[in-house]
Amino acid sequence: MWISNAFAQAPAAGADSSGGLMSFLPLILMFAVLYFIMIRPQMKRQKETKAMLESLGVGDDVVTVGGIMGKVTALKDQVVTVEISAGTEVQMQKSAITTVLPKGTLKSA
């Protein structure tokens, strides 16, 4: 009399095993979509940026994070010296370089 009939009955055999997997299926699908739309392209971009910075050499025309265009005149481990105009050189971190321009893009006056 104290326990209702719905709680007193035993669960049906076999119905519990597929319910657990089906409840996690949307979560698994959301993670897969997130991986292919956000995580994978970001990892690809980071790999391309790292390769670009490793191949950086003296004489390359570059664009910095701030939009300054110049020519690399010296390289050290993490420091790059960029000539932005005749006689004006700026030292910056290597990670501040965003793009390496094709040779001859910048014309010296």
* CA distance to 31, 54, 57, 80, per residue, from 77 (Å): 38, 10, 12, 8
pTM of the full predicted structure? Answer: 0.66
Q: Tell me if 77 is assigned to some domain.
A: yes
What is the tens place of the pLDDT at every residue in 38-62?
999 999 999 999 999 999 999 999 9
| Mean pLDDT for the chain overall | 86
The fraction of the chain above a pLDDT of 70, given in percent, is 81
Q: How confident is the model at residue 14 (pLDDT cuts 50, 70, 90)?
A: low
In the chain the first and final C-alpha atoms are separated, in Å, by 99
Q: Tell me if 4 is assigned to some domain.
A: no
Q: Tell me if 3 is assigned to some domain.
A: no
The reply to whether 66 and 93 lie within a common domain is yes
Residue 73: other Cβ atoms inside 10 A: 14
